[in-house]
Amino acid sequence: MKKNLFRTILSVSVMALVFLMTLAVCGGNSPSDLPLTPDVYVAGHETSGDFGAKVWKNGMVTNLTDGTNAAWANSIYVSDGDVYAAGRENNGRSMSIAKVWKNGVATNLTDGASYANASSVYVSGNDVYASGYDDTIATIWKNGVATSITDGASYANAASIYVSGSDVYAAGYDGKIATVWKNGVATDLTDGINSAEASSIYVSGDDVYAAGYDGKIATIWKNGIATSLTDGAGYANAASIYVSGSDVYATGVESNGNTHIAKVWKNNGAINLTTGTSYVEVYSVYVSGEDVYVAGSEYSDSGMPVATVWKNGLPTSLSATPADAYSVYVEGGDVYVAGNYRGSNSAAKIWKNGTVINLTDGANEANANSVYVSGNDVYAAGHDSKVAKVWKNGVATRLTDGTKYANAASVYVSGSDVYAAGYDGNTAKVWRNGVATNLTSGTVDAEAVSIYVSGGDVYASGYDGNTAKVWKNGTATSLTDGTSYAQANSVYVSGSDVYAAGAEYNGSVYVAKVWKNGVPTNLTNGTDDAWVNSVYVSGDDVYAAGVESDGITYIATVWKNGEATSLADSPHGAEANSVYVLDGDVYVTGYEFGDNGTPVAKVWKNSAATNLTYSPNHGKGFSIFVK
């Protein structure tokens, strides 16, 4: 098997850490229900009283404006605990100012000299994108800087924006023509005979989806090819689109001749949200696991619009006063666990909310090192005996032939592509859809420990001989000079910055390190052993999790921007293997040895510990993912 000097120091035998933030435990005491519930965010507008832009979180309202002028919040996006909204505010001079709010603080995108609106907001890394219009011109803003994507000859609007890797997509209209833009270059979806609009855009892998209408017909476009959702007998519009795995969802309305019926289409099949007895508008759909959320407004008998969210068809009113809900975003859901059970052999397992799924039968030594959820599909990576494997929904795919010891340490899914990183014999490898790419020559011991995909670029980290390395699309960058042993255990990409974390031997002890774009920062002073197992970037903050010795025992430690916090003070040793940050809360998983020498798997939330396993069962938390 492969060497991992850091774990050898702790005198424990575990598989190499994977960075892909999964929660992995060994032992028989799984949590029956981890305390994570979805947070539901909605953006909208009150249509009486202060006429203000608003955000609701789990039904609790936050005012974005003070009511002096009418304002609308059209779109919402949550990233690393920060809540972004996009919309407009009237300026009292028959004009409106396009705005983006971050945690309630407004940034003006326009100067109020024209009528302008921000229809959609999207966050990618450290960059905040918005789309909409300024006067008659469809416009995209990146970090507040405007780019015009039409010439103003016709009324135009970029109604929706989506960022995939380095590509920026928008959907809207130019004159009567429904249009999609990629990096500012327009593709017409319709011929301009009928009035048409693309209201929403979503990118999944290499496929670009849009939703809107052409004439009176609700329509979805995939890569420019139209599919009609309605027959044109009555006016209909698909206002929003969302892709989850292989399923395509849209929401909108269809007229029954008297009023609108709110609908969700799943793979073109319609489900009615309302009966057609009252007027309704719906604007946004979001899918989280198996739950489908829709935001809109249903009118009361008195004609008052009531901001409403439907979850799986069941409505919840958000307001007692007239209001519209324009956008919905969901944070939170299921907790997946990957690891093994320590019997006569170790069997690879996944737990979903505490319910176990066996990946192997225990006939061979096996382990699930990493789990990744994409849509309704659950992927895991690990090994079964000497064979590196990826499992999709419990079905295994062999990555190697078993002639050498091999392991898939990490798995990542991007669109329809499944990536894994690991080793086969002495050779570090990346697999894409089961096809291997050698990262090293095999002349010295090497391993790819972690994988991350950003846009079209594939990053891996690990070691080649004594040298810590990061590979981008197969091309290696040495993080150390190889004079002493070093390893990069984790890689994370934030915007254009590439972070790696691990340790380097200084001749006496291991020094914990984080590299940013290849430049190292020491987290410890080299007096006692220390190493980093995981790195995570949230906004401008860099978190690392690992171990620091006090000269007597090993202490589970998390660093934030280089400042250390000890998580456990067991006299027998503890290790922090993975860190994840959500909504300002810092989650860490690892393990702590008890008095009888049994490791106990733990989760720390803001330094407060929760045991996942109990003695005499052996348990270790390898990595954590919070969604």
With b for 16 or more beta-carbon neighbours within 10 A and e for fewer, the 56-69 pattern comes to bbeeebbebbeeeb
Q: Which pLDDT does position 19 carry in this prediction?
A: 29
Q: Which pLDDT does position 152 carry in this prediction?
A: 95
Q: Which pLDDT does position 425 carry in this prediction?
A: 96
- 156-208 per-position pLDDT tens digit: 999 999 999 889 999 999 999 999 999 999 999 999 999 999 999 999 888 99
Q: Which pLDDT does position 359 carry in this prediction?
A: 84
Closest residue by Cα to residue 423 from 379, 369, 477, 372: 369
Q: Which pLDDT does position 346 carry in this prediction?
A: 63
What DSSP line would sit under 507-534, residue for residue?
Answer: SSSEEEEEEETTEEEESS-SSS-EEEEE
Structure token digits, residue 146: 């405007």
Q: At residue 78, what are phi and psi to the nearest 5 degrees?
A: -120, 130
Q: At residue 443, what are phi and psi to the nearest 5 degrees?
A: -75, -25
List, for the chain, all residue ranges whose pLDDT scores fall below the cut of 50. Answer: 1-5, 7-36, 337, 341-343, 354
Name residue 419's amino acid: Y
Q: Which pLDDT does position 307 carry in this prediction?
A: 85
Q: Which pLDDT does position 5 carry in this prediction?
A: 45
Q: Which pLDDT does position 619 carry in this prediction?
A: 61
Q: Which pLDDT does position 155 carry in this prediction?
A: 96
Give the integer Cα–Cα distance in Å for 223 and 237. Answer: 19
- Sketch out the chain's domains with CATH numbers: 41-272 (2.120.10.30)
Q: Which pLDDT does position 614 carry in this prediction?
A: 67
Give the integer Cα–Cα distance in Å for 543 and 40. Answer: 26
Q: Which pLDDT does position 603 carry in this prediction?
A: 78
Cα 227 from chain centroid? Answer: 29
CB 45 within 8 A of CB 53: yes
Q: Which pLDDT does position 504 carry in this prediction?
A: 96
Angle at alpha carbon of residue 9, lines to 3 and 14, rounded to 5°: 55
